């Protein structure tokens, strides 16, 4: 199968992984500009930095009234999910707040900015403080607005291009982001680094299951399918609701995470209407991952929130988390996630129409678990490094980016 991220044409820039690239350049202090101090992915990234011996000062916005952090954090204000205009305005006010902590910003070796809005905020803060601190841009999602061909899309890509060329490195979690977006629009303007959404080496996520562990099916015999993480895809939610209706007595569906109310406006009422669906709400990562995945037979890894673009290109946390805990994933074909699963022969991929192929797959696996057990065994045979980011990996990436900037 052709890899989703592969394209014809000229050579792509070398993707640095951080492993074996650095000469051990000392770098210890990072200013992390993040979009939500309470977001599990932000917390995982900070944890990975701290595990590698880096000192992290957060300059972060938040989505809730109370987003306590375990790191030194400068609160840049509250934003709302989906409130585009409000978030744009917060870029400017957040930069002024960050500038009032100039001493903290001046003390760091590098600024690490997650997503385009925080990249803009970081550069505005630099302008206010007249600092020349190098900046690394982390793009873990290519927002749908950046893919549009109208004035809004072109204007946002102009902003991204203008800021990207002033960075010392671009971090992505999937190679398809590079080939389908960055190389397409900004060839030669960045130094890429691939940091997948793996578990952080120093996190307390517990041991892997034993090879002889039975499936997670409940005592009453019901098969258990999970959806874990950012619950932001209305089509995925609809497919899971349909599954619950199709198999009311033999299938249980468990949802863990934070629903995006702007994308799924009617959430709890749909779950409450189905006795075989449960919603556990937010969870602690990594502390709760073991109990979550050990309670699942399969995990759903599809996403259609930005169909044809970001949803096709991403590699979600749940394939690494589920893989570590020997919980195979299901993903739609012709996506980067499906390519990852197929390359490692460790899960199920299904074609359209999913309204037919997904229930057919679930029915087949419930009747004959041999394929499921084969994939579970395969996941346990894969080395830990497939699912866990090695200790020192992140500091190597930052050191490499700084070394490259000094060599220019």
Domains detected in the chain: 29-201+390-407 (3.40.50.2000), 223-386 (3.40.50.2000)
Give the pLDDT of residue 10.
Answer: 38
In this prediction, residue 193 carries a pLDDT of 97
Which of 157-166, 273-282, 373-382, 399-408 is the least confident region? 399-408
218: confidence class by pLDDT, cuts 50, 70, 90: low
Give the model's pLDDT for residue 374: 97
With a cut of 70, say whether residue 19 has pLDDT above it.
no
Q: What crossing angle do the helices spanning 84-99 and 115-129 adopt, rounded to 10°? A: 30
User: Mean pLDDT across the stretch 111-140?
Assistant: 97
Tokens of 244: 């619950």
Q: Is 160 helix (H, G, I), strand (E, B) or coil?
A: helix
Distance CA 22, CA 400 (A): 5
What distance in Å separates the CA atoms of residue 375 and residue 299, rounded to the nearest whole number? Answer: 13
The pLDDT of residue 80 is above 90? no
Q: What is the mean pLDDT of residues 385-404?
A: 93
Look at residue 130 and give its three-state secondary structure.
coil
* E strand segments, 153-232: 169-172, 192-194, 199-200, 223-231
Q: Which residue has the higher pLDDT, 366 or 15?
A: 366
In the predicted structure, residue 219 carries a pLDDT above the cut 80:
no
Above 90 in pLDDT, residue 15? no
Percent of the chain with pLDDT over 90: 76
Q: How many helices (H) and strands (E) does the chain have?
A: 16, 15
Euclidean distance between CA atoms 88 and 94, whole angstroms: 10
DSSP category for residue 261: T
pTM for the whole thing? Answer: 0.89
- Of 148-157, 282-291, 312-321, where does mean pLDDT reach its minimum? 282-291
> Is 107's pLDDT higher than 80?
yes
Residue 14, pLDDT > 60, answer no
What pLDDT is attached to residue 5?
A: 38
d(CA 201, CA 217): 29
**pLDDT value of position 4:** 39
pLDDT at 283 over 50: yes
Q: Please tell me the distance from the alpha carbon of residue 304 to that of residue 236, in angstroms, as a whole number.
A: 7
């Amino acid at each position: 199968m052709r890899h989703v991220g592969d394209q014809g044409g000229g050579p792509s820039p070398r993707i640095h992984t951080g492993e074996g690239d650095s000469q051990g350049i000392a770098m210890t202090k990072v200013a992390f500009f993040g979009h939500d101090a309470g977001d599990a992915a932000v917390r995982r990234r900070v944890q990975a930095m701290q595990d590698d011996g880096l000192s992290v000062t957060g300059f972060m916005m938040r989505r809730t009234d109370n987003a306590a952090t375990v790191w030194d954090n400068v609160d840049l204000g509250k934003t709302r999910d989906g409130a585009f205009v409000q978030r744009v305005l917060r870029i400017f006010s957040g930069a002024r707040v960050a500038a009032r902590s100039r001493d903290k910003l001046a003390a760091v070796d590098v600024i690490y900015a997650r997503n385009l809005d925080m990249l803009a905020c970081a550069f505005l803060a630099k302008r206010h403080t007249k600092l020349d601190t190098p900046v690394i841009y982390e793009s873990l999602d290519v927002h749908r607005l950046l893919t549009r061909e109208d004035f809004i899309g072109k204007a946002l890509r102009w902003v991204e291009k203008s800021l990207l060329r002033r960075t010392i490195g671009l971090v992505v979690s999937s190679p398809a982001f590079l080939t389908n977006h960055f190389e397409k629009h900004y060839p030669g303007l960045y130094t890429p680094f691939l940091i997948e959404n793996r578990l952080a080496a120093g996190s307390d996520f517990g041991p892997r299951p034993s090879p002889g562990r039975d499936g997670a099916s409940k005592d009453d015999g019901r098969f258990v399918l999970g959806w874990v993480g950012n619950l932001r895809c209305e089509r995925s939610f609809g497919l899971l609701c349909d599954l619950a209706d199709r198999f009311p007595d033999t299938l249980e569906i468990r949802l863990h995470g934070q629903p995006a109310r702007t994308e799924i406006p009617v959430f709890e009422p749909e779950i409450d209407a189905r006795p075989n669906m449960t919603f556990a709400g937010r969870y602690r990562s990594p502390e709760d991952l073991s109990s979550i995945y050990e309670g699942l037979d399969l995990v759903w890894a599809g996403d259609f929130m930005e169909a044809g673009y970001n949803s096709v290109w991403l590699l979600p946390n749940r394939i690494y988390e589920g893989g570590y805990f020997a919980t195979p994933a299901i993903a739609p074909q012709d996506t980067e996630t499906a390519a990852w699963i197929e390359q490692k022969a460790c899960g199920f991929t299904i074609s359209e129409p999913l309204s037919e192929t997904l229930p057919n797959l679930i029915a087949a696996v419930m009747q004959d678990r041999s394929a499921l057990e084969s994939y579970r065994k395969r996941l346990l045979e894969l080395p830990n490094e497939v699912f866990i980011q090695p200790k020192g990996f992140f500091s190597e990436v930052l050191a490499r980016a700084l070394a490259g900037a000094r060599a220019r």
